[in-house]
Copies of this chain bind each other. A is one copy, B any other.
Amino acid sequence: MKALVLFSGGLDSSVCLGMAVKKYGADEVLALSVSYGQKHVKELEAAEKVAAHYGVETIHLDLGAIFEGSDCTLLQNAHGDIPLEEYADQLKQSSGKPVSTYVPFRNGLFLSSAASVALSRGCDEIWYGAHADDAAGNAYPDTSPAFNAAIAQAIELGSGGQLRVAAPFIDQPKARVVAEGLRLHVPFEKTWSCYIGRDRACGLCGTCRDRLEAFRLNGVQDPIEYERNL
C-alpha cells in the first residue's frame, strides 16, 4: 500500500482521494475515516459511497471516547447548537478563541492516528485535504499553515523519515479544490459537508457557506441539494 488518505466523505478529502487514486491506482490507496462523537453520521455514509465509487479499501476508527467532556457543538454530548452565522461573526462572539464547532485538536489527532495506521499498513504517504480557507481567520487553529507545517514535521521526524504528509491544497483556496475535483470528475453528488445532519444540506452553517461559495466561484452548481441556497 502506498498512500493513506484521511477521508471524511466531505468535498476536500474526496478530491484528495480522487487525486491519490489517479496517481497510484485504487489498489495502492487506503482511505481512513474517523468518527469522533459527532451528532450525525451523514459524512460517514458519504465516505462509504465515495470510497465505493473509487473501489479503495477503507478503515474506520471510532475516537469518540477522546472527546467525552468536550462541549464542542458538533458533538453529541454538547449543550449548545451549531451556529449558523458567518465565521467572522462567530469569532467576534468567541473573543478570539476557537469557534464552538472547533473539535479539540481534531486535525492533530486525526493526522497522528493516520500516521500510526499508515506505518502499520506500510504506506509512506498521508494525504489530506487541508486548504487555505480552512482556518477561517483562526476559527480553527488546527488548520493554519503554521500548524500544518509543525505537524507534518512531527510526523516525518517521529516516523524516522518513513512518512511524508501530502497536503496538495495547503496554500490554495477551496475554489481551487472544487476546480480540481471537477477536472477529475470527483462524484461531488455523493459527498457531504453540512454540519447539520438533516436530509438536505442546510446552506447556512459555516461549511455549507464555504462550499456554496467555492462552487459559485467556479461558475458551477453544486450537485447536492440544499434547504436554502443563499
Closest residue of B by beta carbon distance from A62? B65
**A113 contact set on B, CB distance < 8 A:** 66, 109, 112
| Copies of this chain, tallied across the complex | 2
Main SS class of interface, A: helix
Please, which residues of chain B bring their CB within 8 A of the CB of A105?
112, 115-116, 119, 155, 158-159, 163
Are B104 and A116 neighbours in the complex by a CB distance under 8 Å?
Answer: yes
Q: How many residues of A contact B (CB 8 A)?
A: 46
- How many angstroms from the CA of A162 to the CA of B65 in the assembled complex? 21
* Contact of A151 with B by CB under 8 A: yes
Per-position contact with B for A57-100: 1 when CB-CB < 8 Å, else 0? Answer: 00001100111111000000000000000000000000001100
Residues of B within 8 A of A221 (CB): none
Q: Give the residue name and chain of the B residue nearest to A77 (CB).
A: B120
